[in-house]
Structure 1
């Protein structure tokens, strides 16, 4: 596995993409998302907002995912997603849980 794929922003962007493109069920993120973030994912997942539309059915991909740490235990991240012939944006917040695992606590998508 490449180094960038092990970084929390990229790892989470990939998992979020799988759910929001309809490739994986939302419950696969149950242990990785908290409260309002999980509720938001559960509402968005049936709509599959990152599934390619139209004739181009190429598999969606994370083009870039980066984050900044405004303080210890918090990452504010963004990702650029290729879906069909379009690029989309996703922003999310990660927080380090008491058991030292990163969990998603907020997610926002661009408006298509």
Structure 2
């Protein structure tokens, strides 16, 4: 019949059907959506790993500017974390006072103890974020 379209056929004569799980026959589904976290989340996890002794201080050498590296040296323990509880980031937030600057905080839990970490990130001319200051309040993680 002219004007009615049946199922599309492949060269072999079999009808073309969309793969299972597809909703749109015109194009495949895109990649699954993932939650994109900001640079303050990355820095919170890595700073916590350094100040708790899970990572060496020099692992953040290219990610710090100014006095932040010296602050990390004084905050980091001399012994690696072995028999103690592992601290975790419970919440991380940020404030953007201007372009290229993030002032962030992280709430850290170590067992039933809570502490807070504040840090400042600055974006360089190469558009990479670097930590410019770190401060910890409460029991050390």
The reply to whether TM is greater than 0.5 is: yes
Runs of 4+ aligned residues of structure 1 deviating over 6 Å after TM superposition are none
Higher relative contact order (CA 8 A, sep 6+): 1
TM-score (norm: length of structure 1): 0.84
Question: 1:100 maps to which residue?
Answer: 127
Whether 2:105 is the aligned partner of 1:69: answer no
Structure 1 runs not aligned, ≥5 long: none
Unaligned runs of 5+ in 2: 1-33
1:91 matched to which residue of 2?
118
**Larger radius of gyration between Structure 1 and Structure 2:** 2
Q: Aligned pair count?
A: 105
* Structure 1 residues 9 and 25: alpha-carbon distance in aligned structure 2, compared to 1, 3 A threshold: same
Deviations 1:78-110 (A, max 9, x none): 000011221110000000011111100011100
2:118, 2:72 → 1: CA distance? 13
